[in-house]
Structure 1
């Protein structure tokens, strides 16, 4: 007689219970990640609302009084954001692809204030991890422009710390999505304002024609 015999029904019930527990565990983990991302978004949003440089740049985009090449537009941002996504939000990759991308935009004088802000925000601001209090900033010239930059030893330390790099990439992704949200809101609002002005112009012309002085 086989004492190890387990009825098929009992085995299936055990497998079902195991599968259910696994699903519950995965759902709990997903919920924790959702809560973490929500809290992170709220914190970053609050940081940006207090950030004078950030406000200034987006005020300029909204008013669009400068040369169009110098003020960020949606097409430029999409190109930049897609490049960042392709490179896994990694501003500390071995080949410095994202830094070189920004350098090229600054050399061409495209959306200068935006790219200086992005460089200072993502290439030298380390807000978490064991290196946070060891960061040393120096000035770096890119063409005729000056940016803040981490000293070489700091950059090497980040590139060799996979856990810290992962944390930085996760926060970078959230920060850039918030910037994208701001930009879409501002440009969408601008388009609505432009359409409203055209409609008002048509209404004014019609009123003048119908009710001449």
Structure 2
């Protein structure tokens, strides 16, 4: 198994084989919680306009999204797992557009298969890949807005890589994740950046909480759609 770690939108475009698109703060952490709270499907969308058009066509679908960290005007929710804590999404279909995570999905056109990744389900992602045994794996750390490296996404990518290569003993992912509070996660505790609620941080660094993966497929109309696969 050839495992490569890539970064940013450019890395997503280079991805081949089974591809993991990572966004820890906060897109794919949020999606883990949406599925845990009963969501049936999540449509990953590149542009705000496309998300709005899909919502207009399906008013009963729940629309999530951010730009610059802020909830998009007119959307039901932003990109915050703490904002939707306790919301019953049983059987609901969601729409999701973000500055980084969903951009990785729509740009990974050369991938054979795509799953999303976050610290919340990283070990499950590695387990899924081990079961699939693909010849090639691309792990893409999407970073900030898909253009700047971000420590949390690189940490998640290296953790999954270590699990796949059998070098995770002593990795201490929980300790490294907690340490993000003073580095990449400091924005959650900066009063000048209220678009990043402090309450989101614990959700994002709760390592290996979920034992399912989020797979990207296509619906009957050929539109990209994320679904939950329990291991």
Name the TM-score, length of structure 1 as normaliser.
Answer: 0.27
Q: Higher strand proportion, which one?
A: 2
Name the TM-score, length of structure 2 as normaliser.
Answer: 0.26
Larger RCO (CA under 8 A, 6+ residues apart): 2
Larger radius of gyration: 1
